[in-house]
Chains A and B, each alone.
Chain A
Amino acid sequence: MSLHLQRLADGNLCLAGVDESWRHILSSVPVLLAEPQPPAVRERLLPKPSSQENINRDWRELVVPGLEALWRTNYELMAADLGRLEKDPAHGESWRVVFPANHAAAWLSALNQARLVMGSRWNVTEADMNRPARHLKPTERDHDIFLIHLLAYVEQMFIDAEEGNIQ
């Protein structure tokens, strides 16, 4: 059974078809986001909002802590949900997790942020993203580019959920 996100009759969401590989990949997201990030990543996640230094100074002081706290809350919520992965009674070889629909935004945030973190760590370009998977090399950089694509697949499921396009 392939990975899929579905809305249950009670309104909760269920991510099912989580095999060992997906379990490992998804679990790595909150771990990655909890790590201290290098300057290039911080600059991407927290770009200066203006060319005016007074605005940037206030922003650093007043806004950045709130953004970081919000993102931390999001990936911690995803981690907590993943901590409740259980063997799928209908498909013994895979896991599933059920969580409230209002957790979808937190998952979406964490998945997107993890992709951005890997992308800015390796200075990934549009050309890199357009490279066919068969042209990826066995390097750490290309491994992370592959992960960016894999997580995009999951992210799209959560975009669909946010837009009410899943059943």
Chain B
Amino acid sequence: MAKRTLFSSRTPPRADAAGPATAPGVIETVTEQTKTDLAPPWHVIVRNDPINLMSYVTMVFQKVFGYPRQKAKAHMMEVHTRGQSIVWTGGREPAEHYVHVLQQYHLMAIMEKAQP
């Protein structure tokens, strides 16, 4: 039976709430270094839907990842204009946690193994 790692009680580290400022129009994707460096990282991806408000999606990215407003808004705009955005990249367990939390907020969140 496959190991169940879904949604452990461990709280994943928040993505760079106090990270460097991002230039306008540039979206930085945070990649976490963890002890599972040899395992391929996972992307957390949010897909567009026509109903969720832009202000709501921005607020959720700020709450869930601790992103500064400008960065949260840039990801929201990427979702809106390109159909999806990679909002976080890192280990599998925190990726599962983030997908769980984003879905609690009704966002279309999925996880995908990053291509090497």
Interface residues in chain A, defined as those with a beta carbon under 8 Å from any beta carbon in chain B: 44-51, 54-55, 58-59, 62-63, 67, 70, 108-109, 112-113, 115-116, 119-120, 124-126, 128-129, 148, 152, 155-156, 159, 162-163
Contact = CB atoms under 8 A, between A and B. Distances in A.
A126 B111 contact: no
Contacts, number: 76
A116 B6 contact: no
Residue among B55, B56, B104, B109 with the most chain A CB within 10 A? B56
A63 B49 CA distance: 22
Contact of A46 (B56, B103, B112): B103
A116 B51 contact: yes
Interface of B is mostly: mixed
A50 B110 contact: yes
A55 B108 CA distance: 16
Contacts of A112: 52-53, 56, 105-106
A51 B7 CA distance: 17
Contacts of A45: 106
18 contacts: A45-B106, A49-B96, A49-B109, A49-B111, A54-B2, A58-B4, A62-B6, A63-B7, A63-B103, A67-B104, A109-B105, A112-B56, A119-B51, A120-B51, A155-B53, A156-B53, A159-B53, A159-B56
A162 B49 CA distance: 22
Interface residues of B, number: 24
Interface of A is mostly: helix
B55 A128 contact: no
A124 B106 contact: no
Interface in B65-111: 96, 99-100, 103-106, 108-111
B50 A126 contact: yes
